[in-house]
A and B are shown apart, each in its own frame.
Chain A
Amino acid sequence: MATETEFCADDSLRDHILVAVAKSVESEAQELHVTVSPRAMTAMGDLVLKYLEQMARDLETFAQHAGRKSVNMDDVLLTVRRNPSIAANLTSVLQELATTSKKNQADKLKKKQDVEEAPLEKPKRRKKDPDDVQPGNVKLKKKQDDVQVGKLRKGLEFDEGEELRKKFMTGVTEIDGGSRKLQGS
């Protein structure tokens, strides 16, 4: 294995990286109220490039070690295992990515369900209520709702429950489902 003093990347790629690094460094330096000399700028660009190439080799090794051909997020996290704060930072970013993608999928599914099953949607919402209720109150309300919905559903079909609900929903806000049902049933 020859230690490479030359870069693997060709000039155009190197330029792209230098530009990106320059932008990042400029914005960061502005916040800290310092200037950066051009020599230091190119040095940092080359540094990032070397770091990237070394990371590529590490990632490939990790993926091969796991028996994969495709580099995974776990491989990236393994690269920073020695620095717990970075690892924590990246895992939080990872979770954000995961939740946003899940949310998008969930929203799409919900929209489909809304269109297809409009009458059945309301009883389902009784339990979940993510949009209607404020976060502080969700848990308490959920338990109450679950108990009341259980009572309702024992004797009633969905349609019948829906009619009852329509009767009692006029003039009452949706959130007070628990107390209202006590009166109704």
Chain B
Amino acid sequence: MDSKSHFESAVVYEIFKKVWARSSEGTDIIPKEETEDTENVEDDSLVILGANAAAGPSRKPRSTTANANALKLTCELLKLFVSETVQRAAMVAEAEGSTEIDGSHLERILPQLLLDF
């Protein structure tokens, strides 16, 4: 691997936690917590340890966590995803004769890309 991954585990972890909090909310019938959640996370978006803001007093203690190595693997996977996307789009653009990747090129590769990943 010549270049280091630009994706940080911290950001990936935050996004995961958001999704998991949202999914555990779906099982609860408490709509209030949602707005409180987003406000808390906006203030300290990168404070990973402290941002257990998802755990309110009446929330089920069931939100998922992630392993450190799992996050690293995910970052690696994202890097693969991005490079695959760019390479396929570049091939399509080249076949058209232009050197700029445009939205239309992306559209063409998108179905097969999503099936492969």
Alpha-carbon separation in the docked complex, A82 to B59 (Å): 36
Kindly supply a per-residue 1/0 record for chain B positions 66-88, scoring 1 wherever the CB is within 8 Å of any chain A CB and 0 otherwise: 11011011101111111101110
Report yes or no: A76 in contact with B100, Cβ–Cβ below 8 A. Answer: no
Closest to A28 in B: B86
A175 interfacial by beta-carbon distance below 8 Å: no
For the complex formed, measure the closest distance between the CB of B48 and the CB atoms of chain A, giving whole angstroms: 12
Kindly supply a per-residue 1/0 record for chain B positions 83-117, scoring 1 wherever the CB is within 8 Å of any chain A CB and 0 otherwise: 10111011001100001111101100010000011
Report yes or no: B99 in contact with A34, Cβ–Cβ below 8 A. Answer: yes
A122 interfacial by beta-carbon distance below 8 Å: no
B interface, by DSSP: helix, strand, loop or mixed?
helix
Q: Give chain A residues whose Cβ lies under 8 Å from the Cβ of B41.
A: 10, 13
- Choose one: A33, A43, A47, A83; the contact of B116 (CB below 8 Å): A83
Count, chain A residues at interface, CB 8 A: 58
Interface residues in A1-56 (C-beta closer than 8 Å to B): 1, 8-13, 16-17, 20-21, 23-25, 27-29, 32-37, 39-40, 43-44, 47-49, 51-53, 55-56
- Choose one: A33, A43, A71, A77; the contact of B66 (CB below 8 Å): A71
Closest to A1 in B: B26
Interface residues in B1-37 (C-beta closer than 8 Å to A): 3, 5-8, 11-12, 14-16, 18-20, 22-23, 26
Kindly supply a per-residue 1/0 record for chain A positions 78-111, scoring 1 wherever the CB is within 8 Å of any chain B CB and 0 otherwise: 0110110010011001100100000000000000
For the complex formed, measure the closest distance between the CB of B28 and the CB atoms of chain A, giving whole angstroms: 15
Closest to B64 in A: A60
For the complex formed, measure the closest distance between the CB of A26 and the CB atoms of chain B, giving whole angstroms: 9
Report yes or no: B7 in contact with A20, Cβ–Cβ below 8 A. Answer: yes
A70 interfacial by beta-carbon distance below 8 Å: yes
Report yes or no: A40 in contact with B89, Cβ–Cβ below 8 A. Answer: yes
- Choose one: B22, B26, B87; the contact of A28 (CB below 8 Å): B87
Q: Which residues of B contact A (CB under 8 A)?
A: 3, 5-8, 11-12, 14-16, 18-20, 22-23, 26, 38, 41-42, 45, 62, 64-67, 69-70, 72-74, 76-83, 85-87, 89-90, 93-94, 99-103, 105-106, 110, 116-117
